Amino acid sequence: MSPSKKKQGDVGLAEPKTKAKPKLDRPRLYKVLLHNDDYTPMEFVVLVLREVFAKSDADATAIMLHAHTHGMAVAGVYTFEIAETKVQQTMALAEKAAFPLLCTMEPEDAPG
């Protein structure tokens, strides 16, 4: 029998289980967070924000001060793999310098 000949009740006659979507969903985005601590120097946090997150000196300083004052700050918002890489790069720099700087990521609120 040819593969196209399907008997009644065969899955070939069923409605598709999922309907084709007219548009692709946008990729989910992730916030990369820098957490405050009492030991990492401010200059080091600014350096990380400049080198890993490509921030200007002014933006890096503002983000660092936000983390220093409020406990944490959003360093940037990225797709999953970019966010993951930036977390790893930040933690590698902090570990190499023996500072306890903590960097994590979390999903952005799903779009309405």
The site for ligand TYC (CB under 6 A) is made up of 34-38, 40-42, 45, 64, 67-68, 101
At closest approach, how far in Å is the CB of 74 from ligand TYC?
Answer: 11
Q: Are 57 and 46 in contact (CB under 8 A)?
A: yes
CA distances from 108 to 7, 64, 76, 90, 103 (A): 48, 20, 11, 20, 16
> 3-state class of 33 per DSSP?
strand
- Find the shortest distance in angstroms from Cβ 37 to ligand TYC: 5
Give me the least distance between CB of 33 and ligand TYC, in Å please.
Answer: 9
Residue closer to ligand TYC by CB (options 37, 108) is 37
